[in-house]
Chain A
Amino acid sequence: MSVGIVSYGAYIPRFRIKVEEIAKVWGDNANSIIDGLMVYEKSVPDIDEDTITIAVEAARSAIKRGRVNPERIEAVFTGSESHPYAVKPTSTVVAEAIGATPNLTAADFEFACKAGTAAIQACVGLAGSGMIDLGLAIGSDVSQGAPGDALEYTAAAGGVAYIIGKKEIAAEIESTYSFTTDTPDFWRREGMPYPEHGGRFTGEPGYFKHVTSAATGLMEKLGTKPSDYKYAIFHQPNGKFPSRVAKMLGFSSEHIKPGLVVSRLGNTYSGSCMMGLAATLDIAKPGDRIFVTAFGSGAGADAFSINVTDRIEELRNGAPSVEELLADPIYINYSTYARHKNKIKL
């Protein structure tokens, strides 16, 4: 019996900061950054928002959209690289706040930007084997970028939750394939507030090698080619990388267009690729086939082949779409941004 997405929900904080505003503070050329990254603005969490609150809002949205009884959820896994506690799970708070406790398993995942898709894979395994009825896989982050670092232009906030099961599937996950190596392209040491990265080294040996390997691996496994898919989503740390990797693999700009939300959102790290998938599911029709490849530094990539079913229409208006969440932002200046991101210590 097949396994897939029973429901999904997203959450994006309302605050945004424009690239021009950040560039003004550091004396950078905003136009060249926008051209280079293909990112115009990024989301910023409110002062009282963090990975846990975002994960809860996304999970509640998924439950509402699919009219799911939370007591059916028997596994909660939250992927993030900004869990508020070093020890004390995000997932237990989420489980309690959605009313899924106490008869379930829960754990936090960490694998840079692909912790959320690793959580989906774990849920696919548990639900597919019959060990659980429904699993909740979340990617949520309030990602960090040091003041003045290139990451500051893209490190954003947001989260996406997927409920995985075998019954009432809105999108069947027909197969998944991963490619993982020890590649130190990006890291954050315990107790450090901001990550370090290898600059351009994050590109070729990191992102491109892993994404292309996982994507071609899955297509070879299934005997499919890009033209077999209606849509494609690749991890979007900026707009340039997913556009380039899509071209390298033979996908067109039309394939990636609905899911390429990074230009108006920034990189939501563990939520990045999952947000692109949510935006695509928002407009997908029954019978559409979707190709997804998430990437996490360190490094690895998870590829998925997804078939949209008739039930997608039932989920359509149950919760805010990604487009609705992106609409009506509140723009803030750098000093307000610094206060929201705790860059100013009082």
Chain B
Amino acid sequence: MSVPRFWRRLKNVYNLIGTQCENCGMYYYPPRSLCPKCRRSSLIIPFKFKGEGEVLTYTIVHSATKDFEKHVPYILAIIKLNEGPNLTSQVICSPEEIHIGMKVKSVFRKLGEESEKGMIYYGTKFVPLLNHSGK
């Protein structure tokens, strides 16, 4: 990913900032500039998601691209945020632990890097919501 491309959506990736249509109340992540339901009547505003949700489905990756060789085996999941939208993200836990319906919360992690001398990309991943009474 090019540096400007990452930089443009940095606030969204760091803080799970999507959008909400004030007309119909629907939430969107990644952000949309137009509500597909309300179209011309869209009233789009930025919305910061709380960062909690559940695993809708997942896959365990054993054969990864070079950038992710050290992470193998790792989990990619579709997560349904409590506010409604679904997104794809890595879930940080062991393959034995992951299951459909698992409650998860967002954390700040390294998403990748261009190269040893290139830019480091940071953003949101998810972990099981089981520690510290949800604090």
Give A contacts to B, CB under 8 Å: 46-50, 52-53, 56-57, 60, 64, 84-85, 93, 96-97, 99, 317-320, 324-325, 328, 339, 346
Q: Chain A's nearest CB lies how many Å from the CB of B9?
A: 12
In chain B, positions 1-26 with a C-beta closer than 8 Å to chain A are 10-11, 14-15
Residues of B within 8 A of A325 (CB): 132
Given contact pairs A96-B10, A96-B14, A346-B70, A48 touches B125 in the complex (Cβ within 8 A): yes
Which residues of B does A touch, CB under 8 Å?
10-11, 14-15, 48, 66, 69-71, 92, 107-111, 120, 122, 125, 131-132, 135
Can you list 10 A-B contacts (CB < 8 A)? A48-B109, A53-B108, A53-B110, A57-B108, A84-B120, A97-B122, A319-B135, A320-B131, A320-B132, A324-B132
Tell me if A317 and B108 are in contact (CB < 8 A). no
Contact across chains for B70 and A47 when beta carbons are under 8 A apart = yes
> In the complex, what's the smallest C-beta–C-beta distance from B134 to chain A, in angstroms?
10
Decide yes or no: A85 and B135 within 8 Å by CB, A49-B109, A49-B110, A53-B108 being known contacts: no
Cβ of B132: which chain A residues have Cβ within 8 Å of it?
A: 320, 324-325
Q: Complex formed: what's the CA distance from A96 to B92 in Å?
A: 23
Asked if residues A46 and B92 are in contact (CB atoms below 8 Å), the reply is yes
Cβ A85 vs Cβ B120 within 8 A: yes
Count A/B pairs, Cβ under 8 Å. Answer: 56
Give the residue name and chain of the A residue nearest to B108 (CB): A56
Tell me the minimal C-beta distance from B47 to chain A in angstroms: 13
Tell me the minimal C-beta distance from B107 to chain A in angstroms.
7
Q: How far is the CB of A316 from chain B (nearest CB, A)?
A: 11
Contact of B108 among A47, A84, A97, A328 (CB under 8 A): A97
Q: Which residues of A contact B48 (CB under 8 A)?
A: 99
Complex-state Cα separation, A42 to B135, whole angstroms: 24
Chain A neighbourhood of B10, CB < 8 A: 96
Enumerate chain A residues within 8 angstroms of B109, measured Cβ to Cβ. 46, 48-49, 53
Distance A48 CA – B125 CA, assembled complex (angstroms) = 10
Chain A nearest CB, measured from B119 CB (Å): 8
In Å, the complex CA distance between A84 and B135 comes to 28
By beta carbon, the residue of chain A nearest B120 is A84
Among A52, A57, A320, the residue within 8 A (CB) of B135 is A320
Distance of A57 Cα from B92 Cα, bound (Å):
15
State whether B15 touches A99 (Cβ < 8 A).
yes
- Contact residue among B14, B69, B135 (Cβ-Cβ distance under 8 Å from A317): B135
Q: Which residues of A contact B107 (CB under 8 A)?
A: 53, 57
List residues of chain B with CB within 8 A of the CB of A57.
107-108
CB-based contact A48/B71 at 8 Å: yes
Residue of B92, B110, B111 ringed by the most chain A CB atoms within 10 A: B110
B contact residues around A93 at 8 Å (CB):
14, 122
How far is it, in angstroms, between the C-alpha of A26 and the C-alpha of B131 when the chains are bound? 34
Which chain A residues border B69 with CB–CB below 8 Å?
A: 346
User: In whole angstroms, how far apart are the Cα atoms of A346 and B135 in the complex?
Assistant: 37
Chain B hits for A48, CB < 8 A: 71, 92, 109-111, 125
**Residue in B closest to A14 when the chains form the complex, CB atoms:** B131
* In contact, B135 and A339 (Cβ under 8 angstroms): no
Q: Write out the residue numbers on chain A whose beta carbons fall within 8 Å of the beta carbon of B110.
A: 48-50, 52-53
Verify B70–A97 contact, CB threshold 8 A: no
> Which of B66, B108, B135 contacts A318, CB < 8 Å?
B135
In the complex, the 4 A-B pairs of residues with the closest C-beta atoms, listed nearest first: A320-B132, A48-B110, A56-B108, A48-B109
Assembled-state Cα–Cα distance A319/B135 (Å): 5
Residues of B within 8 A of A60 (CB): 108
